Amino acid sequence: MTDDVVNVSAPARLHLGFLDPGGQSARRFGGIGMALEEPATRLSIRRARQDHVDGPEAGRAAAYLDDMRRHLGIGTRHELTISDAIPAHSGLGSGTQLALAVATALRALEGQPADISGDAARLGRGNRSGLGAAFVSGGGVAVDGGKGDSDMPPPLIARLPFPHDWRVILVLDPSDTGFHGADEVAAFATLPAFPEAQIAEICRLVLMQALPSLAETDIAGFGAAIATIQQMVGEHFAPAQGGVFTSPAVARACEALAAAGAHGIGQSSWGPTGFAFAPSAREARRLVAAIGEAAAGLDIRILAGRNHGAGVERRGLRLTGTG
């Protein structure tokens, strides 16, 4: 008798900026982002006599599992174990990655074809960004084309690998969380229209500076484009989130990183997580050491980018002694 187990690892993502947050163009939102090697949501699933869901975010995962089984017409019970979860409400895409990790694992276990974009729509993810789904199907730096009339997540329109030697300096504030849920919806509703001239400038920066610089491994050009986009978008959201950064502590650390020579300073989504880029692991370590007391109370990590999507592993365990 064989008891199959499927393991899935789904990467966190940085949201590097919106193209058109207010929908002044034909499509709304649009965005550029990247996949991170860590943190990641890791889980395993197997068939069981009765349902059992364990680990961080177990309640949300159980709800996603139920929704997917109803959609797929699966009556089997399952044991679902979450061994690691991306920090919730930190701007790293935790909800989307958890939902799609559960859906991907269930489909793999039950022999169902993958449908990442469809599952994102079914589970209420991807209403503003298609990047979470894009980083389950693949990694790197990606651009989505914004939300149109379809119920599906926005389409992916560009993807490039993140340079192997570059590093991301992630600045997390364990004492704070970004906007989410009803607060996020309310914040979008109260913000003024995003200026059309800035929409045009962000699109130019993405297409004519950030992506070409990435292709040429030019971190100064890439970082300058991302920092400018972040400043424009951050100033637009400042009335809702209390400044360009949600967390004053993260803001101070990121300002210190910029002063020390880091590239592409910004905040992912509503924060509170900030980020910066360095051309190498050695330079990243120097930058982190240079900011000294500005890092007090924060969780600062040096990470590589991830140039592949979710990891899916299926194992058949041979059982004995079953009579």
pLDDT digits (tens, 9 = 90+) for 100-123: 999 999 999 999 999 999 999 999
Structure confidence at residue 242 (pLDDT): 87
Structure confidence at residue 180 (pLDDT): 58
**Percent of the chain at pLDDT exceeding 90:** 83
Provide the pLDDT confidence category of residue 308 given band limits of 50, 70 and 90. Answer: very high
Phi (first) and psi of residue 177, to 5 degrees: -135, 155
For the purposes of burial, counting CB atoms within 10 Å of the CB of 147, is it exposed (0-12), middle (13-18) or buried (19 or more)? buried
Is residue 270 within 8 Å of 250, Cβ to Cβ? no
DSSP-based three-state secondary structure for 221: helix
Provide the pLDDT confidence category of residue 317 given band limits of 50, 70 and 90. Answer: low
Residue 212 scores a pLDDT above 80: yes
The mean predicted confidence, pLDDT, of the chain is 92
Stated pTM of the model: 0.92
Helix (H) or strand (E) holding 271: none
**Of 127 and 155, the one with more pLDDT:** 155
- Report, as an integer, the average pLDDT of 183-204: 84
Structure confidence at residue 184 (pLDDT): 66
Domains (range + CATH), the chain? 2-317 (3.30.230.120)
pLDDT digits (tens, 9 = 90+) for 33-68: 999 999 999 999 999 999 999 999 999 999 999 999
Residue 2 scores a pLDDT above 70: no
Residue 320 scores a pLDDT above 50: no
CA separation for the pair 240, 246 (Å, rounded)? 9
**Percent of the chain at pLDDT exceeding 70:** 94
Residue 323 scores a pLDDT above 50: no
- Report, as an integer, the average pLDDT of 309-317: 87
- Report, as an integer, the average pLDDT of 158-183: 89
How is 111-179 classified by DSSP, letter by letter?
A: TPPP-HHHHHHHTT--SS-SHHHHHHH--SEEEE--B-SSSSPPPEEEEEPPPSS-EEEEEE-TT----
